[in-house]
Amino acid sequence: MSFPPTLKQLRYLVALHKTNHFGRAAESSHVTQSTLSAGLQELENLLGAQLVERTKRSVMFTALGEEVVDRALKILNDVDDLTDMAASAKDPLKGIVRLGIIPTIAPYLLPKVMPALQKELPDLELHLREDKSADLCDLMRSGELDLVLYALPFACGDAAEMPLFYDGFVAAFPEDTAPGKEITTAQLDNSNLLLLEEGHCLRDHALDACQLVGNQARRELSGTSLPTILQMVAAGHGTTLLPQMAVDAGLTDNVGVDIVEFKDINPTRTIGLIWRKTNPRAETFKALGEVIKNAWVH
């Protein structure tokens, strides 16, 4: 009689795949390296196939090992969702919520909404993680995050979406160089446009909202953060597109730039939440979203 793999063995396998290192995988699993190695060997014996190629310097997963990891992630997510469902049934507004948030939203939104969340949902414990959109998506799909506060749209598999509010875009010029108090997109086209590097969804959302996608007249430079981009603009290296929430939060104060609105269009991005459709805590996430929306709008 053969026995099925245990959840512990599957977690060891996923941890090794994530870290690509036996020592770090054991540390993240809170076991010794020998315990983890033995668990993985037992898993391979149960399945009758090699999942991991072991050398002194590297760890490499076999083709079957990669497939087993994918299946293991789904199984472990289902198990975690089952546990969450039971806890949520007792009190949906209580417990830990692991929220991911992108860096072009976090520093400008959180100071305004956190007091409201603490007041309206005092028994909900938020664990926050700031990272790029694609990385947060991967963490949510793997079950390491419950939901993500994003600028929509952003493709992240089979995810549920909850739009919350709109955030506008404005243009930033070096001080005293703006062509007027308001500009058209055509006036922006011939400028040197500085944008965040690839991997930040603000880059694509800003270009799309301002109808600049595919425009060959501009020259794009990239930066790692909005404050860095803004300093480059202030130094006369070009112009940029900024989310209104960043301007309202004081990002451009005393920097040496002019903020100009558009008169021919009203460019915006949609701020919202996403979570796995299989996650049973949808009502909890919707309540969280409502508090965030009300706190921001009011």
Q: What is the CATH number of the domain that holds 241?
A: 3.40.190.10
Q: Is residue 2 part of a domain?
A: no
Residue partners of 185: CB distance under 8 A and separation at least 6: 210, 211, 212, 262, 264, 265
Higher pLDDT, 6 or 93: 6
pLDDT for the residue numbered 57: 75
The pLDDT confidence band at residue 219, using thresholds 50, 70 and 90, is very low
Instruction: Say if residue 254 is in the same domain as residue 108.
Output: no
The 8-class DSSP code of residue 4 comes to P
pLDDT in tens, 82-116: 777 676 666 667 888 999 999 999 999 999 999 99
The pLDDT confidence band at residue 58, using thresholds 50, 70 and 90, is confident
Instruction: Say if residue 152 is in the same domain as residue 278.
Output: yes
Instruction: Say if residue 147 is in the same domain as residue 99.
Output: yes
Higher pLDDT, 234 or 83: 234
Residue ending a domain, choose from 33, 49, 76: 76
Q: Is residue 1 part of a domain?
A: no
Residue partners of 86: CB distance under 8 A and separation at least 6: none
Instruction: Say if residue 277 is in the same domain as residue 154.
Output: yes
CB-count exposure of residue 165 (10 Å: 0-12, 13-18, 19+): middle
Rounded CA-CA distance 246/40 in Å is 48
The 8-class DSSP code of residue 218 comes to -
Structural domain containing residue 16: 7-76
| 8 A C-beta contact, residue 35 and residue 104 | no
Instruction: Say if residue 126 is in the same domain as residue 157.
Output: yes
Q: Is residue 216 part of a domain?
A: yes
Q: Which two structure tokens, joined as six digits, stand for 6? A: 């245990």
pLDDT for the residue numbered 207: 76
Look at residues 211, 209, 256 and name the one whose alpha carbon lies nearest to residue 233.
Answer: 256
Instruction: Say if residue 127 is in the same domain as residue 250.
Output: no
Q: Which two structure tokens, joined as six digits, stand for 156? A: 């992240």
Q: pTM of the full predicted structure?
A: 0.71
Residue ending a domain, choose from 76, 97, 122: 76
